[in-house]
Every structure is written in structure tokens, then in C-alpha cells.
Structure 1
Amino acid sequence: MKASNLLLSVFVLSAFIGRTQSNFHLTQYMVHQPFINPSAMASYDEMNLALFYRNQWTGFQGAPVTQGVSFSTPIGKTNNFLGLNVMHDVIGVNSSTLISLPYSYSIRLTKQYKLSFGIAPSISTIQSNLSEIHTINDNDPIYQQNLPTVIVPNSSFGMYFFSKRFYAGYAIPKMLHNNIVVQEKIDVKNTFNWKQLHHYLSIGIRFPVNRNLDFNVSTLGKYVHGSSLQLDINAQALFMKKVGIGASYRTSNELAAILTIQALKYFKFSYAYEYNFARIGDYSNGSHEIMLIIEIRKRLTPKVSVPRF
């Protein structure tokens, strides 16, 4: 590979891998927490499937678009849970696909509370399609080819403490730090460094107001050494356990409105519209996020109420 091509490859891939280190943005993380914490699978007593689509900064060319699917199931009557997650993230000419196999184990601490642990080894493929870039010189050979696909291993870890009305979760979305290494070809060096880890802490509580109304509050904190703490603060009014109307504020100056609908006992639909009050908000029409959760359970199996807020 020519030196100029190699240098460009390193720059483009390093920037995109840097984005993947902090995991994808998900405003409605509280609707299906296994997306951000593998141990949260244990809060489901039935097989379930979740899908989401996020279009960030609509109207802004090359803005991030993320799609994901999460499947999990309990293993018999044991305290073990297995799953499969697939995430696809596109920003500009760069794209990544992550496949992970989460595992979780739960322990009953008291009649009301459980504690679960989870891990999710993963593989990501990262691509940069330079041929899609429009340049002044259409014959520039550097932009007439795509960069080689980079394969990146990693793993997430999580803990989840929960009851019917409360949860507290801790997760590390990426255990390894991926660095571009240039020798005769482009390679990735994977290292573990505690200071480079991203830490997620989530807390939520449900306040029953009366028979037909619950008030849910939750927060998600994200922290990495050398950066300021980022908080998502959420509040939701839940009517008759069916319709939830809420709002979310992120300390990076974003505000979201969230609508959640429980339908036919087994289906939950959730939509969020998010607006960024930073300067990029002047050039976009906000962000849209859609999520669908399907619970697949036996007809005679009683449903265990667990927090989804």
C-alpha cells in the first residue's frame, strides 16, 4: 500500500474506531437495557426480541444512522441467560457492524431483590468506502478504492441489581482499547487500560401514584477518565401500565420527548424525538429513534413485573 494511502487509512479508521470506543448513542436505553448492559437480560423471565432504529441529526449529510437487534432467552428453569446482539452503525462513508453473544447469571438476594452479572464477547467489522466521497478531482486514485476491512474483538461487562420498582446497573461497554498499528499493513492492537474504559451507571425507581398512574424516574451516567461526567435524566408518567409519556435531558445539551405504548401484552413500541441545543442543532432537524420489543412467552407462564423505565 502506498504511503499516502496508508496514512489516509490510518487517519480515517482511527477516527471511526475512536467513535466506536464510546459505544452508540441510545436515548431510550431504559426501555430495553440489554442494549447497554448484558447483565440486564436477567430481568426478563421470558424470551424476547428488541429492535431499534436511530437517525441522528436528520437533514445533516453523513450524520450517524444506527440499527440494532437484541435477542435473549432464559435457559430452562436455571438462572442462566443467553442472547445475541447485532448493531450496525453508519457515519459518512464509514460503517461498523458489531455481533456479540451476551451471557448473564442471576442470584436471588432476598424475596424482592436479585443481582445479576453479565459478559458479552463481540466482534466488530469496520469499513470505509472512500469511493463514495465526492472530490474536486474525480480521478484521484486515493478515493477510487475502499480501505481494507478491519476486524476488532472486544467484550462488555455488566452488573444489575433490581426489584419490581427499582434498579441499579453498572456496565463497561468496551473492555479493550483498539489502536491502529501500521507495519507492512494496517492492523489493530488491543490493550486493556483502566483509564481508557467508559463506565455506565444507571439507576431507576418507580413511584405508584394510584391504580392507574405510575411515575418513573431514571438516570444514566457515563464517564471516562479525563472527560466530564455525562448524565441522561429521565422522567415518565405511565398511564394504566399501557401508555408512557416522558422527557429526557442529556447534559451535553440535548432534550428528548418519549412516547411508549404497550400493546397486546406482548408488544411494546417506543418513539423518541431528540433536539440538540448545541450549534449542530442549527443545521439539523433533530434525531429520531424507534424501538420495538416483542416478548415471546408461554401462555400459562405468569409475567413477572420488572422495571422498564
Structure 2
Amino acid sequence: MRQLIGIIIAISFCVGISSSVKAQQDAQYTQYMYNTLSINPAYAGSREVLSAVLLHRSQWVGVDGAPTTQTLSAHTPITKNLMGIGLNITNDAIGPSRQTYIDASYSYGIEVGRESQLNFGIKAGAHLLDVDYSKLDIFDSTDPNFQSNVDNKFSPQFGLGALLFAENYYVGLSVPNVLETKHFDQSNNSNSNTVAKERISYYLTGGYVFDLSSDLKLKPTLLTKLTEGAPLQVDVSANFLLYEKLTLGAAYRWDAALSGLVAFQFTDAWMLGFAYDTDTTKYTNYNDGSFEVFLRFELFKKYNKMLTPRFF
């Protein structure tokens, strides 16, 4: 049955390149609160230190051809924390296709009152698409749509974002890519009469930190994603921070999945986190869930070391 689900994934991909229009989806994260730069360039520099995150996600474990994602992001403030720069590299694979995103971010902030800051961000980069049709079990080997692989097909990326934040809250609005890119059209492949379009996605994120006691904090967060031609995605989560070290939480992706999250701050510089998702759909019996693991490193200046680490 799991091989059958894998075949369905491959068929879905093939349908996406053999029909008139299909939407390409951004990579999905459960621990988006630790990986905000990937969806909002205004986050660059907001942690006030050099911060780097390495994340891996395996979705629908046990299913052949299921999505896997790896992300490396790093950002740092410049010019008294009012400007920031960042770099994000993402590798996203599903079935016979692999997509690589490489982009650089820049943010500029203005002080709002005594404790808040409003950042505006832009990012620009490249999207590379590879498709290896030899990974498919093609019924008709003479089908012209599958005669030539796609190798490093380039598309430009340009994104915008805004982030209002303070020590205990943040609200973000972003569009990771404002360009709609067509793949597999006749102008690029004379053997193909297909079009797959990368749709624009709009993100709204937010979070707040409640001090329940001197050793316990609660942070609820929200992520909403709106993409034309796709269902509205709503993620809500609640994380507890104990003794400034251990984070425990749960998340719910509307009509899709339930998740458990855990993270541990080993030192001021190093943090390790893990999340596990279980589907709430009819496909839950055909996979072993999804998981994410991330590692964060932060370089503190000696004169700017945080006594209380930021919770987001």
C-alpha cells in the first residue's frame, strides 16, 4: 500500500506537468518559528546576533518518493541592529523532482516606541529545478513529455516582508516570491504542451510570550498561508519554555496534522529541536508520520550576551 501511495505521488507530479495549469507549493515546516527567515526576509538580523539554523524534514515516512526538505539559513544584524542581512539555501525533493532555492535577504528597521521595532525586508535569489524521469515507471516509454530530463532550470526569485516585534511578541506579513514562474511550457520544451505555474503565497505569522512564572514561559504562535488554487493553511502552536532550557509544545495544522515539539538549549550558542507530525487525514494509515530536526548556532558578542535567550 505504501508503494501505491508513492505511485500516487509520482502520478500527481506527472499530472502537474501534463495539464494546463498546476500550482507549485513552497516547502512546509512545523518548526517555522525557528526558521522564519525562509518565509520572511524582514526577520534578518532581528535576533540581534549572528544566528544560523540547519533543518531537515522528512514527510510521510515510509512512502516512496515522499517529500524531503533541507534548509540552511544564517542572518546577522549590522549598523546598530537597525539593518540585517541573511542567506537561505533550501533543497526540496519530491518524487522525480528536486528544487533548490538560494536567496539573500536584507532588512531595514525603524524604532516604534521604546520597545518595538518595525522591519521591512527584501530578498532576491534563484530557483533551480531538476527532474529525473528515469525515477518514474512510465507506462508509455515513447511519451514525448518524458524523453528529456530537466537539468538546473533557472527561475528568478524576489520576495518582500515586514515584521513588527519586541522582546515578547512578533507579527509578520510576507510574500516569499512575488514572481509567478511557468515551467514546462512550449517555449522551453518543444516536446511538451504543458504548463506548471509557481503561484504567489502570502504568509501571516505571529507569536506572543507570556511569563507564567520566573521559570516558565508560554508562547502561542500562528502561521497562515494563502495560495491561489490551494487550500488555506493554518498552523497554531503552543510552546512552554522551562528554566530557559527545555521547550515542550504541540501544534495543529488545520485539517491536516497534529504535532509534538521538543527543543533543548544546551548552551548559550547551541540549540537542538525535534518535531513529529501525525496526519489527521485518511492517509494516516499509509505512512509513519513526518519529522523535523533542527540545530541552531548563535554567536554572541561578549558585551552583548543575552541573560535571557529570545523565545523566537
Bin the TM-score by the shorter chain. Answer: 0.7 to 0.9
Contact 1:31 1:308 in 2 (8 A): no
Paired position in structure 2 for 1:104: 107
Are 1:61 and 2:64 counterparts?
yes
CA distances 1:94-135 after superposition (whole Å, capped 9, x unpaired): 001110011111111111100001111120110110122234
Gaps of 5+ in 1: 1-8
Cα distance, 1:303 vs structure 2? 2.5
Distance 1:247 1:173 in 2: 26
Are 1:185 and 2:196 counterparts?
no
Distance 1:227 1:153 in 2: 22
Paired position in structure 1 for 2:288: 285
Cα distance, 1:148 vs structure 2? 4.2
Distance 2:139 2:179 in 1: 39
Cα distance, 1:277 vs structure 2? 1.5
Distance 2:288 2:197 in 1: 39
Cα distance, 1:35 vs structure 2? 2.0
CA distances 1:151-197 after superposition (whole Å, capped 9, x unpaired): 111212110000111110101122011123313736999999xxx53
Distance 1:55 1:263 in 2: 24
Distance 1:27 1:64 in 2: 14
Residue of 86, 92, 95 corresponding to 2:95: 92
Contact 1:131 1:144 in 2 (8 A): no
Distance 1:164 1:267 in 2: 20
Residue of 33, 54, 71 corresponding to 2:74: 71
What does residue range 233-244 of structure 1 map to in structure 2 within 5 Å?
Answer: 233-244=236-247
Give percent identity, aligned residues only. Answer: 28
Distance 1:174 1:284 in 2: 31
Contact 1:163 1:307 in 2 (8 A): no
Contact 2:202 2:225 in 1 (8 A): yes
Contact 1:126 1:150 in 2 (8 A): yes
Gaps of 5+ in 2: 1-12
Distance 2:159 2:308 in 1: 26
Aligned partner letter, 2:266: A
Cα distance, 1:245 vs structure 2? 0.5
Q: Mean alpha-carbon deviation: is it higher for 243-252 or for 36-45?
A: 36-45
Distance 2:91 2:132 in 1: 15
Paired position in structure 1 for 2:27: 24
Distance 1:139 1:125 in 2: 27
Aligned partner letter, 1:165: N
Distance 1:233 1:295 in 2: 26
RMSD of Structure 2 on Structure 1 (CA):
3.0
Q: Mean alpha-carbon deviation: is it higher for 175-184 or for 120-129?
A: 175-184
Distance 1:39 1:160 in 2: 6
Name the SS of the counterpart of 1:176 in structure 2: coil
Contact 2:23 2:197 in 1 (8 A): no
Closer, same or farther: CA 11–174 of 1 in aligned 2, 3 Å: same
Cα distance, 1:296 vs structure 2? 1.3
Contact 2:67 2:94 in 1 (8 A): yes
Paired position in structure 2 for 1:155: 158
Are 1:174 and 2:177 counterparts?
yes
Contact 2:216 2:240 in 1 (8 A): yes
Q: Mean alpha-carbon deviation: is it higher for 239-248 or for 143-152?
A: 143-152
Are 1:215 and 2:241 counterparts?
no
Closer, same or farther: CA 104–66 of 1 in aligned 2, 3 Å: same
Paired position in structure 2 for 1:3: none
Paired position in structure 1 for 2:272: 269
Closer, same or farther: CA 154–11 of 1 in aligned 2, 3 Å: farther
Q: Mean alpha-carbon deviation: is it higher for 145-154 or for 35-44?
A: 145-154
Distance 2:166 2:50 in 1: 19
Aligned partner letter, 2:65: G
Paired position in structure 2 for 1:117: 120
Paired position in structure 2 for 1:252: 255
CA distances 1:268-302 after superposition (whole Å, capped 9, x unpaired): 11100001121222111000101111001222323
Contact 1:55 1:66 in 2 (8 A): yes
Number of corresponding residues: 296
TM-score, with length taken from structure 2:
0.85
Are 1:301 and 2:304 counterparts?
yes
Closer, same or farther: CA 265–111 of 1 in aligned 2, 3 Å: same
Paired position in structure 2 for 1:128: 131
Name the SS of the counterpart of 1:218 in structure 2: strand
Q: Mean alpha-carbon deviation: is it higher for 221-230 or for 253-262?
A: 221-230
